[in-house]
Structure 1
């Protein structure tokens, strides 16, 4: 695996910038991962540099990248989004607000993490093709670890931005969901830096599968 490259080591937490709320690991300039995708990895923790992030706020900012100042809570302006669940999980968790508020409500007092976080950035020929790569990756993580995952697609050009299309993957906890649809044990493989290698390995298989 390519050696992780610290992306925001010198950035102090800023309430307006969710990418300053957690340490992020990516690729060195000019490099990328499987299929030319740039992969950003991080774990949102209960405290980072004396700042206490909110999982709900973090997710709402991903779901509403172009929301106005007076937008209602949980407004969704992202190009596309979906919650992926283990087959046995209750359908009510398919709603992003229900999922994230349940994760917060059921968080242990000594929680080590709030969520695992992935961003996939590329220059796709088709947005739906990029979405399928992200969705297949998310489904593999969900099925392998019995977790829930929220996938969000951003297309900055629709709001006049110059950044490339990208997908965000948020895995609340990252904790397993029980057969009775409550959050349970921490997934250690997704709660630290080694989660990045896991994602890169799964992504390599995903790119190979979707390009076959």
Structure 2
């Protein structure tokens, strides 16, 4: 599978932030602007960020962020988030083998992420974006990103929500892409007791995920 490295158009839509008083302000219409983004340059169209409990004065929750990344469009900004009916192209939870089956419900996974967040930690979710603009078919792109989430589950004992976005459906000029919303806590003992994956909630996480993704998309480890 050949995946596009052309990220310029795609990266333009990642944030609708505005500059004010010398800093970037989160924008309610774009949940990507709620993230702390690694100041290091992105590579090959990928994007890495961490959703923190607070960011530039905005109070965040994993559930709100995950809901918005799977329910697309500005009309959802004020919608009832107790109703889970995603309109993203595809959405699935991928869990490590020992995780509780209840966490396969994305709503439950995100609510527990918020409920059991350690008081001395800011990180709620690790966010990873993968461009898929030149994948041969949508189902091939999906299997690639889903198996990447499986790789993370197996190697790092972490659960993820995989969301495939197809902007062409609504006539938007952005390529096919996918997001991983990674819960950065090892799930063998459940979210409440699971230790944090410290490297994935720091800037170093970008290099780690970038290296794994580059290897994976080139055919190594794809099931």
TM-score by length of 1: 0.83
Helix, strand or coil for the counterpart of 1:177? coil
Kindly tell me: are residues 140 and 26 of structure 1, through their superposed partners in 2, closer, same or farther at Cα, counting changes over 3 Å? farther
Distance in 1, Cα, partners of 2:213 & 2:108? 28
Gaps of 5+ in 2: 1-10
In the alignment, what sits opposite 1:49? 56
TM alignment of 1:129-140, pairs within 5 A: 129-140=140-151
Residue in structure 2 matching 1:146, options 151, 157, 173 = 157
Residue in structure 2 matching 1:12, options 11, 14, 25 = 25
Listed one character per residue, the Cα deviations across residues 94-150 of structure 1 (whole Å, up to 9, x for unaligned) are 110011011111111222301100111131221111112211221111112111110
Whether contact under 8 Å (1:156, 1:162) holds in the other structure is yes
In the alignment, what sits opposite 1:157? 168
TM-score by length of 2: 0.79
Whether contact under 8 Å (2:36, 2:52) holds in the other structure is no
In the alignment, what sits opposite 2:108? 98
* Alpha-carbon offset, residue 68 of structure 1: 4.1
Distance in 2, Cα, partners of 1:160 & 1:26? 31
Runs of at least 4 residues of structure 1 off by over 3 A? 6-11, 25-28, 66-72, 179-183
Q: How many residues align?
A: 200
Distance in 2, Cα, partners of 1:169 & 1:26? 19
Helix, strand or coil for the counterpart of 1:41? strand
> What CA RMSD, in Å, does the superposition of the two structures yield over aligned residues?
2.7
Residue in structure 2 matching 1:109, options 119, 127, 131 = 119
